[in-house]
Amino acid sequence: MKKLFLLLAISTSIIFTSCEGPSGPPGPQGDTLLGLVFEATINFNEANSYSRLVTFPSNIVVYESDVVLVYLLEDVVNGYDVWSQLPQTYFLNQGTLLYTFDHTLLDVNIFLDANFDLYTLNPTYTDNQIFRIAIIPAEYGNANLTMDELMSSLNIEASDIEILPN
């Protein structure tokens, strides 16, 4: 009986260690697109409850593991855009104003929140606000990236950014 188990063990190890064949053919080339960025211009007012639901463009697929980042265009200095990542807080004479957002797999909701009546806001804070929305695969999802760092790490040029209609 011991000889039978020994013979079975040796033959099994020989069978499994000697089975090696040629490599299979290479798989299909994967999509090299690492992340997508697009812009939306928003006017906040009482009619839209100081919020805007921005639907992701149809060419963007968002997965549960992806990271969604939103940036506000604050200024243009010497021809360079100055972007601030949301949430963004401002301390005004009326009180505290917050630009913030939430998102699903289909859209992002950008909205204003404040500890005062928003209708008292200067149009500087409500009209023609430009936002950049970035969809980033989780492995690139460092939430503390500046817009320039993000664009550079994803190899995205300004000309690659889709601008959504108002």
Question: CA dihedral in degrees (139, 145, 149, 155; nearest 10)?
Answer: 30
Global pTM reads 0.66
Query: 13-17, 93-97, 162-166: lowest mean pLDDT where?
Result: 13-17
What pLDDT does residue 32 have?
45
Structural domains of the chain, ranges and CATH numbers in brackets: 34-163 (2.60.40)
Token pair, residue 152, equals: 């550079």
The yes-or-no verdict on residue 59 having pLDDT over 90 is no
Task: Decide: 37 and 136 in contact? Cβ < 8 Å.
Answer: no
